[in-house]
């Protein structure tokens, strides 16, 4: 976890010149699209522009007053000195106030824009089809919501105002310097050339070290995350020493590369200071010569010393902002890529309140990957109130049938009918509202037991929740928890046993009181005694409902009205348990494997 935090801190902090920069493919289009999020912040942008402009004017004006004050002292014009000093004090004070408000306005602007961007992204993720979520790394989606959005926020809050102020400062300083002395301005520009060349040289050397460090950091981060996740396996096979050795090797390589990268990176500051000091020498020497010739005053020399610093600082800052802006645009492009994905279809009719809930699959074909069909010409009719069980080897297509019925995925061809009407004619919310589903992988939330049960039905009463828990035989163990139904499940219920987690999921389905019930390996993670309790609860829950059961255990499906045996997306056998057990075939083989002790 420490390695992950260090990795996140590294990627969030401002990039150094020469550090590897992630670039957007379509920069202009991404930039223009990002600008649309600024439309609602027009007044704040105008105010920020005013504040930055006022701050730059004050910053450029302060050295002018300093120059006048020095000349007044040199010429013994003491009468005008108080006015000049007050003007200089006012310019410095105004500059400080404007910088303060620039920071506050930039922060508010960035957080307002990122809030809307994150809201759009989160809303989009909730409407994406399950096929997209399955194809993409969950960590990658989370990274777009967090790291990519943070990079954009950082650029808006720190770089937007700084970039505008830097350009204005360059222009304003150049104008004032030229008005004082053209020759001295041209001499000062020599340090600017030296700064650009030095920056380019260092950036070239830094690039390979920062890239190598980034790769090693990612490898170390992945190693730590993997080993923490698999800590039980590591301990079970006594691999601690080997894992520690692998970690130390990668950490040592990262340390060496990091030292080299930071050494070169840290040399940037001293070199820039040296060039800046050279600028002071040039201004002092040539300024003194020009003053002796009477071309400029002593006050102008003091102003030039300050302006030479002001002139080089924005160039360095703008060069450093380049990497941050490129990274932010790359993050924005990644976010927009998700926003441009096709959402689940909206609209459709409401499922009638009174239906017989007859489900029929007609010549259904489906493939996750083109030309690799998972479901092939599948035909099945589930009569109202009947219990249909699907069995078969892993990969035979059982769970896919459930995904198609719930419209988590859309079929390639054929029809799935509900009371003779294609389910694609119904709205997704209406269709899914009919169905209660208990999956093999139980999903619980880091909240109270009450919240987790009530998730299936908004505004459910305490009595309804407790009744559903009793129906699922979960009430007894819930009441033994520290705070009963108000116990907070930390780590999404990681402190509960698999059986207890499954009982809560079944209780949630009981509370939903669905017209169609789907049980996908609902009892696979419980012991035999708990399974017996669940079977009793399931019998009551499935009464007078259309049910679709997926299971590997024969004991959980032998009472089904019809058992469907699947192989490679086809139905190879169907009938009751009594009928299938008398026939030679895969179902009889499965039965003998589980109950007669045959080797599987």
* Share above pLDDT 70 across residues of the chain, in percent, rounded to a whole number: 88
Q: 71 lies in a domain?
A: yes
How many Å apart are CA 587 and CA 568, to the nearest integer? 15
Q: 326 lies in a domain?
A: no
Scored b (16 or more CB within 10 A) or e, 259-283 reads: ebbeebbeebeeebeebbeebbebb
User: Which residues are bridge partners to 360 per DSSP?
Assistant: 381, 417
101, 239: one domain: no
For residue 39, the model assigns a pLDDT of 87
Per-residue pLDDT tens digits for 449-483: 898 888 888 788 888 888 888 888 888 888 988 88
174, 210: one domain: no
Q: Give me 157's structure tokens.
A: 């809050």
Q: 203 lies in a domain?
A: yes
38, 173: one domain: yes
Please, which pLDDT band fits residue 196 given cuts at 50, 70 and 90?
Answer: confident
Cβ neighbours of residue 329 closer than 8 Å, sequence gap 6 or more = 23, 24, 27, 30, 31, 34
Q: 570 lies in a domain?
A: no
In the predicted structure, residue 50 carries a pLDDT above the cut 70: yes
335, 462: one domain: no
How many Å apart are CA 251 and CA 153, to the nearest integer? 31
Higher-confidence position of 570 and 233: 570
How many Å apart are CA 310 and CA 185, to the nearest integer? 13
3-state secondary structure of 533: helix
Strands 570-575 and 562-567: antiparallel
CA dihedral 594, 596, 599, 600 (to 10 degrees): -30
How many Å apart are CA 320 and CA 42, to the nearest integer? 27
How many Å apart are CA 31 and CA 469, to the nearest integer? 53
Q: 479 lies in a domain?
A: yes
Could you tell me the pTM of the whole model? 0.71
3-state secondary structure of 421: strand
CA dihedral 404, 410, 413, 416 (to 10 degrees): 40
For residue 18, the model assigns a pLDDT of 43
In the predicted structure, residue 94 carries a pLDDT above the cut 90: yes
Q: 505 lies in a domain?
A: yes
How many Å apart are CA 334 and CA 331, to the nearest integer? 5
Strands 546-550 and 387-392: parallel
The backbone region for 487, taken as left when phi is positive above 0, alpha when psi lies in -120 to 50, beta otherwise, is: beta
111, 134: one domain: yes
> Residue 290's CB: how many other CB atoms inside 10 A?
20
In the predicted structure, residue 496 carries a pLDDT above the cut 70: yes
282, 336: one domain: no
For residue 216, the model assigns a pLDDT of 77
Most confidently modeled range among 11-25, 309-323, 353-367 = 353-367
For residue 596, the model assigns a pLDDT of 57
How many Å apart are CA 296 and CA 31, to the nearest integer? 46
Please, which pLDDT band fits residue 4 given cuts at 50, 70 and 90?
Answer: very low
Cβ neighbours of residue 535 closer than 8 Å, sequence gap 6 or more = 523, 555, 556
Higher-confidence position of 469 and 521: 469
Most confidently modeled range among 129-143, 320-334, 409-423 = 409-423
Q: Give me 476's structure tokens.
A: 């007894």
Place of tokens 């307002």: 112
94 touches 55 (CB < 8 A): yes
Q: Nearest CA to 343 among 117, 125, 116, 121?
A: 125
Domain termination site, one of 458, 482, 513: 513
- Overall average pLDDT of the 2-20 stretch: 41
How many Å apart are CA 424 and CA 407, to the nearest integer? 8
120, 142: one domain: yes
Tell me the average pLDDT of the chain.
Answer: 81
Place of tokens 């209406």: 430
Please, which pLDDT band fits residue 323 given cuts at 50, 70 and 90?
Answer: low
Q: 134 lies in a domain?
A: yes
In the predicted structure, residue 338 carries a pLDDT above the cut 80: yes
Higher-confidence position of 358 and 551: 358
Higher-confidence position of 151 and 540: 151
For residue 600, the model assigns a pLDDT of 37
Three-class SS of 369-432: ECCECCEEEEEEEECCCCEEEEEECCCCCHHHHHHHHCCCCCCCEEEEEECCEEHHHECHHHHH
Per-residue pLDDT tens digits for 292-306: 888 888 888 888 888
- Overall average pLDDT of the 262-270 stretch: 73
187, 150: one domain: no
How many Å apart are CA 296 and CA 287, to the nearest integer? 8
Q: What strand order describes the sheet that includes 375-382?
A: 375-382, 359-366, 413-418, 421-422
For residue 206, the model assigns a pLDDT of 66
Gap between the terminal Cα atoms of the chain: 41
Q: What share of the chain is helix, strand, coil (3-state, %, to 5)?
A: 65, 10, 25
Q: 255 lies in a domain?
A: yes
Please, which pLDDT band fits residue 598 given cuts at 50, 70 and 90?
Answer: very low
The backbone region for 493, taken as left when phi is positive above 0, alpha when psi lies in -120 to 50, beta otherwise, is: left
- Enumerate long-range contacts of 591-598, CB under 8 Å, 24 or more apart: 591/554, 594/553, 594/554, 595/554
Q: Give me 316's structure tokens.
A: 């360095």
How many Å apart are CA 326 and CA 332, to the nearest integer? 10
How many Å apart are CA 468 and CA 52, to the nearest integer? 62
Please, which pLDDT band fits residue 525 given cuts at 50, 70 and 90?
Answer: low
Domain termination site, one of 513, 545, 571: 513
CATH of the domain at 466: 3.40.50.300
Please, which pLDDT band fits residue 414 given cuts at 50, 70 and 90?
Answer: very high
How many Å apart are CA 115 and CA 108, to the nearest integer? 10
Please, which pLDDT band fits residue 522 given cuts at 50, 70 and 90?
Answer: low
Strands 562-567 and 387-392: parallel
For residue 119, the model assigns a pLDDT of 92
Domain termination site, one of 513, 547, 570: 513
CA Rg value for the chain? 35
Q: Nearest CA to 272 among 197, 336, 342, 214?
A: 197
How many domains does one find in the chain? 3
CA 146 vs. chain centroid, Å, equals 4
Per-residue pLDDT tens digits for 55-78: 999 988 888 888 888 888 888 788
173, 29: one domain: yes
Please, which pLDDT band fits residue 334 given cuts at 50, 70 and 90?
Answer: confident
Cβ neighbours of residue 266 closer than 8 Å, sequence gap 6 or more = none
Please, which pLDDT band fits residue 191 given cuts at 50, 70 and 90?
Answer: confident
Domain of residue 502, residue span = 443-513
Three-class SS of 261-310: HHHHHHCHHHHHHHHHHHHHHHHHHHHHHHHHCCCCCHHHHHHHHHHHHH
46, 156: one domain: yes
For residue 533, the model assigns a pLDDT of 67
123, 246: one domain: no
Per-residue pLDDT tens digits for 211-260: 677 667 767 776 776 777 777 777 777 778 888 888 888 888 888 887 87
In the predicted structure, residue 526 carries a pLDDT above the cut 70: no
CA 408 vs. chain centroid, Å, equals 22
In the predicted structure, residue 367 carries a pLDDT above the cut 70: yes
87, 191: one domain: no
For residue 364, the model assigns a pLDDT of 93
In the predicted structure, residue 574 carries a pLDDT above the cut 80: yes
For residue 96, the model assigns a pLDDT of 93
Cβ neighbours of residue 409 closer than 8 Å, sequence gap 6 or more = 129, 130, 131, 366, 368, 400, 403
Please, which pLDDT band fits residue 501 given cuts at 50, 70 and 90?
Answer: confident
How many Å apart are CA 485 and CA 438, to the nearest integer? 20
CATH of the domain at 47: 1.20.1560.10
For residue 97, the model assigns a pLDDT of 94
For residue 531, the model assigns a pLDDT of 67
């Amino acid at each position: 976890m420490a390695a992950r935090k260090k990795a996140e801190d590294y990627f969030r902090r401002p990039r150094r010149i020469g550090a590897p920069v992630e670039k957007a493919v379509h920069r202009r289009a991404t930039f223009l699209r990002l600008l649309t999020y600024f439309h609602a912040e027009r007044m704040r942008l105008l105010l920020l522009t005013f504040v930055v402009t006022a701050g730059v004017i004050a910053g450029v004006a302060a050295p002018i007053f300093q120059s006048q004050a020095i000349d007044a002292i040199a010429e013994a014009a003491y009468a005008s000195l108080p006015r000049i000093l007050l003007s200089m004090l006012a310019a410095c004070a105004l500059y400080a106030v404007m910088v303060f408000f620039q920071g506050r306005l930039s922060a508010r602007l960035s957080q307002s824009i990122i809030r809307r961007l994150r809201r759009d992204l989160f809303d989009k993720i909730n409407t994406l089809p399950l096929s997209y979520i399955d194809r993409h790394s969950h960590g990658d989606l989370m990274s777009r919501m967090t790291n990519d959005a943070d990079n954009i926020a950082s650029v808006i809050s720190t770089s937007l105002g700084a970039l505008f102020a830097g350009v204005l400062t360059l222009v304003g300083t150049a104008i004032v310097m030229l008005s004082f002395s053209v020759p001295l301005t041209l001499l000062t520009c020599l340090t600017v050339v030296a700064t650009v060349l030095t920056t380019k040289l260092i950036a070239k050397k830094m690039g390979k070290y920062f890239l190598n460090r980034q790769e090693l950091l990612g490898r170390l981060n992945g190693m730590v995350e993997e080993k923490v996740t698999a800590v039980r396996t590591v301990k079970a096979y006594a691999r601690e020493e080997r894992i520690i050795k692998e970690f130390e090797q990668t950490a040592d390589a990262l340390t060496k590369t990091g030292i080299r990268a930071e050494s070169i990176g840290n040399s940037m500051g001293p070199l820039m200071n040296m060039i800046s000091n050279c600028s002071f020498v040039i201004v002092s020497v040539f300024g003194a010569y020009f003053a002796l010739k009477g071309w400029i005053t002593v006050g102008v020399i003091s102003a030039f010393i300050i302006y030479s610093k002001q002139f080089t600082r924005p160039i360095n800052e703008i060069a450093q902002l380049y990497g941050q802006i490129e990274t932010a645009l790359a993050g924005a492009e990644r976010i927009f890529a998700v926003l441009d994905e096709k959402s689940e279809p909206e609209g459709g009719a409401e499922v009638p309140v009174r239906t017989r809930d007859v489900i029929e699959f007609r010549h259904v074909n489906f493939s996750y990957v083109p030309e690799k069909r998972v479901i092939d010409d599948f035909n099945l009719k589930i009569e109202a109130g009947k219990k249909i069980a699907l069995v078969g080897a892993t990969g035979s297509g059982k769970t896919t049938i459930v995904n198609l019925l719930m419209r988590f995925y859309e079929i390639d061809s054929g029809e799935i009918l509900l009371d003779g009407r294609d389910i694609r004619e119904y709205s997704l919310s209406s269709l899914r509202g009919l169905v209660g589903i208990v999956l093999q992988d139980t999903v619980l939330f880091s909240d109270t037991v009450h919240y987790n049960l009530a998730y299936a039905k908004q505004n459910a009463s305490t009595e309804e929740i407790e009744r559903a828990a009793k129906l699922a035989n979960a009430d007894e163990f819930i009441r033994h928890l520290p705070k009963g139904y108000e116990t907070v499940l930390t780590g999404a219920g990681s402190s509960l046993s698999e059986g207890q987690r499954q009982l809560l999921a079944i209780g949630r389905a009981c509370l939903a009181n669905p017209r169609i019930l789907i049980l996908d390996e609902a009892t696979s993670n419980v012991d035999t005694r708990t399974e017996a309790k669940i079977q009793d609860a399931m019998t009551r829950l499935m009464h007078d409902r259309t049910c679709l059961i997926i299971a590997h255990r024969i004991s959980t499906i032998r009472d089904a009205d019809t058992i469907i045996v699947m192989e490679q997306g086809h139905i190879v056998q169907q009938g009751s348990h009594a009928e299938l057990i008398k026939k030679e075939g895969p179902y009889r083989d499965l039965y003998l494997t589980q109950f007669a002790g045959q080797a599987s």
